[in-house]
Amino acid sequence: MALAVVAALSHRPAAAIDAGPRQQTESPYFFVRGGLPGVDALPLKRTAVDVQVSGVIAEVRVTQHYRNEGQRAIEADYVFPGSTRAAVGGMQVRIADRLITAQIREKQQARIEYAAARQEGKTAALLEQQRPNVFQMRVANILPGDEVQVELRYTELLLPEAGRYAFVFPTVVGPRYAGAPTADGRNAWAAQPTLREGEAPASAFTLQARIAAPLAIHDIRSRTHAIEVQQSADQPTQATIQLADGRGPANNRDFVLDYRLAGDQLAAGLMLSQGQGPDAENFFLALVQPPKAVAATQIAPREYIFVVDISGSMHGFPLDTAKAMLQRLIGGLRPSDRFNVLLFSGSSRMLAPKAVPATQANIERALAALGQTQGSGGTELIPALRRVYAEPKAPDVSRSIVVVTDGYVTVEQEAFALVRKHLDQANLFAFGIGSSVNRALIEGLARAGRGEPFIITDPVQAPEQAARFRQMVESPVLTSVKLRFEGLDVYDLEPAVQPDVLGERPVLVFGKWRGQPQGRLLVQGHTAAGPWQQAIDVPAMPDAQGAALPALWARHRIAQLSDQEALEGGDAFRSAITQLGLRYTLLTPYTSFIAVDQVVRNPNPADSTRVQQPQPLPQGVSALAVGETATVVAGAEVPSTPEPETLGAVLLVLSMLAMLHRRARRAKAGRFTA
């Protein structure tokens, strides 16, 4: 009896056909086949990826083949990952001999059109962005025997890291816990069915990439997949790569391909695109790439200004930890470096009238002054930043501002704007110290200052975070970077001002231009050897790959607006992001692609069944990611580690059953005694 009650409590509809949001958890759950007879539970049969890399731009075509091998019409629902840099700009749907080109729509309008087409019995496809790198595809009214082919197209920019270019194609969305869904069903994308641990995905996966580079391609490799590389000695600037056959499943982990280009000198490049028509826009891309390795003689002089919060909220552990960290940072400076320390609370003071050389005597004096400070007063961050930016800076010096605070202020937006305005003067790195840091401020400052955020919640983290910072700023190659166009009218630059070129971080600038393609670009800056300048003639003809620049420019602008929206909360930039998506035909949080076949193909659309395509567990991820174990009971999905309320209900029922059982035994025993 007890087992029967437990089974009744834990039985739920099969995951393959569960269309409603999960109320207990939003993490993926194990997929159980055979949930409904006559339904194809795995409609995605294969995915083919074709990549064309030209210079620094990758154009990617992803073709998904859906086929209904069941006996009932279905609606396929598939969540899949994407590149964080992808500008998704097109979708086509092919049904038999008919090709439908998707249209970009405002997100809610696209949903309305999709729902109407589904109810009318028309085959339709809807592509939505659920996260910047997570997308959802829905295809309605796939009839038995139908094969529907959905083709997605996107572009992305490949930038080198540590001298190597990398192309990444994610193949699976890993398990995620998203909490309870909201009333409008948001976050429901995370409730995807998942194959069991060790079970290979049933859908096939192929990938082929072709690389055409301006320089010879060296050391092509993939640390994630077995690949076959074709490259001839007489054409070292071109290569073809494909997945090797027979090496097990390939779509349960990210595919990462990386390679190196010949050349170790600082280089600059310019790419143009020219629009057609009287109202067309013209775009450019400028790239300044540092050398592969930086010799000590090439490292420009460095200057650090440490902006340290000594307000009342920093008293105790935060300030003590800040002192220990600064001891490591300042103590590790080279004699050729210069530094200063600004202490701020309700007011601010510099430890020296101007930056001083990092001699042992100066370092000891600064550390002694820091050791005597005690936290008190308010947190006047804006006046402190203004004072730092007002400090004179030599043109041949790479300046880094290091802000150390718990972030307990309410002037985030003003601080971000101030840092962005002075990006040409310094990079900014932010250290948040405390048990409850204002991460929005710390991360926002670093993003605005083209730096990096560091969070320290206990003293043990201080040494490793200090070492991480020193490694990051070790090799500034080009400082005071300026781009000046002669003969070409440019506007709408992204970013508006340029940060320093570090040893492993290139400078990237998008923008628009008017008039005729003429003149030249001057890239100017300072290296350790003195002033540096490179002149690049503006190409008379647009580059063949320049067609991707409008989408990449818009994608970069959308990313900036999305970051700002996330920092501020709400949807203050919804209209601007939506307009960019509609104008440049891009998938965004507020725009979607919708394709509708106008032929009514399903006379009984109400009888269609929704099927959620299951995800494989990523390679190396165990079933613990979705619950410690999972048990199938009567074809249903049952988490082995119940939610607290479910477990409590089960225990309550068992206790009641045990009590009733004991009472029955006593009554029976009494009857025997009598």
Q: Mean pLDDT in each 10-residue stretch from start to end of the chain (674 residues)?
A: 34 35 48 74 91 91 94 90 85 90 96 96 93 86 93 89 79 58 48 75 91 88 90 92 84 86 68 84 83 60 89 80 85 85 87 90 86 77 93 84 85 82 88 77 83 80 79 70 89 79 72 90 80 84 80 89 71 91 95 95 90 76 49 34 40 55 56 40
pLDDT at 537: 87
Write the burial class of residue 94 (CB in 10 Å: 0-12 exposed, 13-18 middle, 19+ buried). Answer: middle
- In 180-222, the DSSP E strands lie at 193-194, 204-212, 217-221
Instruction: Spell out a b/e string for 123-138, using b for 16 or more CB atoms within 10 Å of the CB, else e.
Output: bbbbbbbbbbebbbbb
In this structure, are 377 and 294 located in the same domain? no
Write out the DSSP string of 561-602: HHHHHHHH-TTTTHHHHHHHHHHTT--BTTEEEEEEEEEE--
In a domain, 468, yes or no: yes
Report the number of secondary-structure helices (H) and strands (E) in the chain.
Answer: 11, 36
In this structure, are 289 and 308 located in the same domain? no
- What is the rounded distance in angstroms from the CA atom of residue 140 to the CA atom of residue 621? 32
Amino acid identity at 552: L
**Residue 295 phi, psi dihedral angles, 5° rounding:** -75, 160
Write the burial class of residue 270 (CB in 10 Å: 0-12 exposed, 13-18 middle, 19+ buried). Answer: buried
In this structure, are 211 and 246 located in the same domain? yes
Asked if the bond preceding 476 is cis, omega within 30° of 0, the reply is no
In this structure, are 34 and 136 located in the same domain? yes
Write the burial class of residue 372 (CB in 10 Å: 0-12 exposed, 13-18 middle, 19+ buried). Answer: exposed
Name the nearest CA neighbour of 219 among 235, 244, 236: 236
CATH number of the domain that residue 511 is part of: 2.60.40
Instruction: Spell out a b/e string for 308-329, using b for 16 or more CB atoms within 10 Å of the CB, else e.
Output: bbbbebbeeebbbbbbebbbeb
**Residue 451 phi, psi dihedral angles, 5° rounding:** -115, -140
In this structure, are 152 and 226 located in the same domain? yes
pLDDT at 316: 79
Evaluated on CA atoms 437, 438, 440, 445, the torsion sign reads negative
Instruction: Spell out a b/e string for 10-36, using b for 16 or more CB atoms within 10 Å of the CB, else e.
Output: beeebbbbbeebbeebbbbbbbbeebb
What count of residues does the chain have?
Answer: 674
Name the nearest CA neighbour of 251 among 199, 196, 203, 195: 203
In a domain, 633, yes or no: no
In this structure, are 468 and 415 located in the same domain? yes
Name the nearest CA neighbour of 156 among 184, 132, 192: 132
- In 411-570, the DSSP E strands lie at 427-433, 453-456, 476-486, 489-494, 501-502, 507-514, 520-527, 530-537
Work out the number of other CB atoms within 10 angstroms of the CB of residue 392: 6
Cβ neighbours of residue 556 under 8 Å, at least 6 residues apart?
Answer: 494, 510
Write out the DSSP string of 11-53: ----GGG--SPPSS--S-EE--S-SSTT--S--EEEEEEEEEE
| Count of domains for the chain | 4
In this structure, are 64 and 202 located in the same domain? yes
In this structure, are 442 and 483 located in the same domain? no
In a domain, 179, yes or no: yes
Cβ neighbours of residue 443 under 8 Å, at least 6 residues apart?
Answer: 430, 453, 567
- What is the rounded distance in angstroms from the CA atom of residue 206 to the CA atom of residue 312? 59
Distances (CA, A) of 218 to 53, 262, 264, 289: 15, 7, 13, 17
- What is the rounded distance in angstroms from the CA atom of residue 192 to the CA atom of residue 613? 8
Domain final residue, candidates 427, 447, 474: 474
In a domain, 305, yes or no: yes
In this structure, are 226 and 368 located in the same domain? no
In this structure, are 304 and 430 located in the same domain? yes
In this structure, are 594 and 656 located in the same domain? no
- What is the rounded distance in angstroms from the CA atom of residue 63 to the CA atom of residue 84? 19
Name the nearest CA neighbour of 545 among 236, 166, 207, 211: 211
In a domain, 452, yes or no: yes
In a domain, 553, yes or no: no
CATH number of the domain that residue 424 is part of: 3.40.50.410
Domain final residue, candidates 456, 474, 492: 474
- Are the CB atoms for 525 and 481 separated by under 8 Å? yes
DSSP-based three-state secondary structure for 450: coil
In a domain, 590, yes or no: yes
In a domain, 446, yes or no: yes
Domain final residue, candidates 536, 553, 574: 536
Domain containing residue 359: 300-474
**Residue 456 phi, psi dihedral angles, 5° rounding:** -125, 110
In this structure, are 172 and 209 located in the same domain? yes
